[in-house]
A and B are shown apart, each in its own frame.
Chain A
Amino acid sequence: MLDIDLWTVLWTGVNLVILYLLMRHFLFKPVTAMMEQRTQAIQDGLSQAETARQEAQALKEENEAKLSQVRSQADQIVSQAKQQGQREYDQIIASAQAEAQAIRSDAQAQADAQRRQMLQDAQQQVAALALLAAAKVSGRALDADSDRDMVEEFVREAGDL
């Protein structure tokens, strides 16, 4: 039962070495390689997914930046157009007002001139009438220039009163 049998020890040792070589070649190497290959594939897949995600993120940020830029440009254009419109509107209004003002002041001036003219005419006629009346009264013709000046002076003073 406990007898030492060196041949069996030797045989078993040889058996173990052979079995080790066989198992290493047929079992452990291929299976470990396959497992590592799979781990590698999974890692590659994950890192690829991560890269794709980052790319998508960058693209999205770029698009957002572009969009906001475009939006601000659009805002700028609209506000410029508004300002332009406002300016033109103001200008038109101002010129119209100025024109109206000019027309009105023209009319005023014309009216004033007419009034003055009429007043003058009236004064002259009144003076002539007064002269005529005075001549009638005094019985002599008062048609000298000095007389007329005197009467017109009188009428003017009376008008001023």
Chain B
Amino acid sequence: MEEIKQELMAQLENPVAFTIPVLGGIPVTVSVVVSWIIMAALTLAAILMTRNLKPVPGRAQLVLEMFVGLINNFCKDIIGPEWKRFAPWLGTVALYITCANLIGLVGLVPPTKNLNVTAALGLSSMAVIYTAAFRVHGLRGGLGQFLKPAPIMLPINLMEIAIRPLSLCMRLFGNVLAAFIVMELVKMVVPVALPVAFSLYFDIFDGVIQTIVFVFLTGIFIGEALEEE
């Protein structure tokens, strides 16, 4: 039992891959390196797949258009007329979280298993949401959004600034962490065949669901922030 615990704790560490020797040494964790790999793969795929877009789409282009159309329509529904400014952000987050959740399948450590990565995701989504409010409504209108639906809601709205990123961050982290631990335990008990079945649920299904939840909530928050009188 103690051995299993040791093993698990070791798996849950977020090891530093290397350190950049400036400013007294900047540590780069494995999560960040894996993120770079994901970014490189996504960018390469995007460049290759959008190299010659045609009005009559081929098979690869159809897949791209399905994805982009899905994100665009989702943003149109939830955010409204300003959707064009936010669709690329939500699409990027969706791609990144999906890849980060699923990259465990190819043997790399999922970056979303690192609390700091999900924290950054939550914080940047918050940044997008509140910048959107101020850019669309102006300074006064942006501040006015905190008095909605009634001025008495001000404390709650202020608390939400912290609660929303925290909940986004913790939900994603908790789900991925739980899936990771369950998978590790299953692998320890039955190393062959059975983990595949569990992996379908915990890695793929849950990974995709958490992506959808994260993007959906961010979209709803943006739509709320942009709401007119």
Contacts and interface: CB of A to CB of B under 8 A. Distances in A.
Contacts of B9: 1
A28 interface: yes
Interface residues of B, number: 49
Contact of A13 (B13, B68, B93, B123): B123
B138 interface: no
A130 to B, nearest CB: 134
A20 B46 contact: no
B226 interface: no
B116 A12 contact: yes
Interface stretch (B21-29, B153-161, B188-196, B201-209): B21-29
A11 B35 CA distance: 9
B79 interface: no
Nearest to A28: B88
A34 B55 contact: yes
A35 B68 contact: yes
B102 interface: no
A104 B49 CA distance: 113
A7 B120 contact: no
B141 interface: no
Interface residues of A, number: 34
A19 B92 contact: yes
Contacts of B93: 16
A19 to B, nearest CB: 5
A24 B32 contact: no
Interface in B36-76: 36, 39, 42-43, 46-47, 49-50, 53-55, 57, 61, 64-65, 68-69, 71-72
Contacts of B121: 12, 16
Interface of A: 1-13, 15-20, 22-24, 26-32, 34-35, 37-38, 41
26 contacts: A1-B13, A3-B14, A4-B116, A5-B14, A5-B29, A7-B29, A15-B32, A15-B39, A16-B120, A16-B121, A18-B39, A19-B43, A20-B92, A22-B43, A23-B43, A23-B46, A26-B43, A26-B47, A27-B46, A27-B91, A28-B71, A28-B88, A28-B91, A32-B72, A37-B55, A41-B55
